[in-house]
Amino acid sequence: MRNKFAEVLLQLMEQDDKVVLLYADIGNRLFNKHKELAPDRVINAGIAEANMASMAAGMAKMGLKPVIYTITPFTTARNFEQIKIDIAYQNLPVTIVGTGSGLAYANLGPTHHSFEDIALMRVLPNMQVVCPCDSNELSALLPQAIASGKPCYLRIGKKNEPLINVQEPSATIGKVNIIKRGLDVCILAVGTIIDLAVELQHKLEEQGKDVQLVSFHTVKPLDSEFLLSLVNQYRQVIILEEHSKHCGAGSAIFEWQIDNNVMLNISHFAIDDKFIDQVGSTQSARIKARLCLDFILNKLKNKALVV
C-alpha cells in the first residue's frame, strides 16, 4: 500500500505544484522519483515528528498542500498535540499518512503497533479519519483527502496487502464502499483487516448466508445514511477493525446508535485492552489479538449465527 501511496502522490505532485511531502526519515528509495520531479517539495523532516506536524501546518498557512508521512504511532501519538493545535484547531489542509497501521509491523513490537490511532484522530474536531482497505481504494481516496482542504488522517498498511477492489473503485470519503451486496449478514471491515473479512464472508456463505461485505473506510465523518439503511434489515452486523475495541470505528458506530436512537444487532471484533508483544508476524499478532477466523466463528456460534 505504501508503494501505491508513493505512486499516486507522484501523480498529484506532477499535477499540482502546491503538493509537498514531508517524511520523518523513512521510505528509503520510495520517494526517489518525487525528488527528481521536485526536490524542493520532498522534505526529509528528520526523526522529529512533532516539528514535522507543526511545519506542515505552517506550510498550509502559506498556501501549500502538505502530506506528512511516517510509521503510524509516530505521526499520531508522538506528535498528537501538534496535530491537535496546529493542524486540527487551525483547520488547515494537512494530510497525515500513517503507514504500517494496526499490527502491520507486528514483529517490531508495541512501539510500532498502532491500535489507538483511530481513537486519537477521531476525537479531534475538524479531522477526517479514513482507512482504505487496499491499494486500489487508497488510489481513489488519497486525491480526495488532499483536495478536501481540511485536515485528514489516512491510515494505511505496509505492503503486499491483497487487492479486494479488483480495480480502482469509485470510493468517496464519507461514503462506504460496498464490495459485495447481500441481504442477511453485513460485515463492516475497517481498513486492511478486510482480508479476514473476506475469509469470514466465504465461511458464512458456505453456511448458506447471504453476506454483504463493506469497506467501512471512513470512520469520520460517519456514513449515517448507510448506517440507517442497515436498521431492521440485517440479522447481524459484524464490525472488524485492527484497533483497540475502545474508541475506534466500532465505538463510533455505538455512539452513533445512541445519538440516533436506533439499534443494530452488532458483533464487534477488535483488539482487547492489552498490549500485544512477543510476536514474529502479523498473522500471529492477530491470533494473539483474537482477530482470527476461529475465534470469530466461535463467538458467532454463541450468537447462533453459525453452526
Using CB under 8 A, list all residues that contact another protein. 20, 40-41, 43, 45-46, 48, 50-51, 53-59, 61-64, 66, 81-82, 85-86, 89-91
Closest distance between another protein and the C-beta of residue 296, in Å?
A: 42
Q: What's the rounded Cα separation, in Å, for the pair 101 and 84?
A: 20
Is the Cα torsion angle 162, 168, 173, 175 positive or negative in sign? negative
Closest distance between another protein and the C-beta of residue 48, in Å?
A: 4
In the complex with another protein, which residue's Cβ is closer, 90 or 172? 90
Q: What's the rounded Cα separation, in Å, for the pair 97 and 153?
A: 6
- Strand 152-155 vs strand 128-130: parallel, antiparallel, or unpaired? parallel
Closest distance between another protein and the C-beta of residue 290, in Å?
A: 37
Q: What's the rounded Cα separation, in Å, for the pair 138 and 70?
A: 16
- Strand 218-220 vs strand 128-130: parallel, antiparallel, or unpaired? antiparallel
Closest distance between another protein and the C-beta of residue 130, in Å?
A: 23
Q: What's the rounded Cα separation, in Å, for the pair 19 and 60?
A: 10
CA distances from 307 to 4, 242, 298 (A): 40, 25, 9
In the complex with another protein, which residue's Cβ is closer, 146 or 306? 146
In the complex with another protein, which residue's Cβ is closer, 89 or 226? 89
> Cα 248 to the chain's mean position, in Å?
10
**DSSP letter string, 244-283:** ESSSSHHHHHHHHHHHHT----EEEEEE-SS---S-SSHH
Closest distance between another protein and the C-beta of residue 148, in Å?
A: 18
Cβ-contact 47, 24 below 8 angstroms: yes
Closest distance between another protein and the C-beta of residue 182, in Å?
A: 45
In the complex with another protein, which residue's Cβ is closer, 54 or 192? 54
In the complex with another protein, which residue's Cβ is closer, 81 or 259? 81
Cβ-contact 164, 195 below 8 angstroms: yes
Closest distance between another protein and the C-beta of residue 96, in Å?
A: 14
In the complex with another protein, which residue's Cβ is closer, 67 or 188? 67
In the complex with another protein, which residue's Cβ is closer, 80 or 216? 80
Cell triple for 240 = 472488524
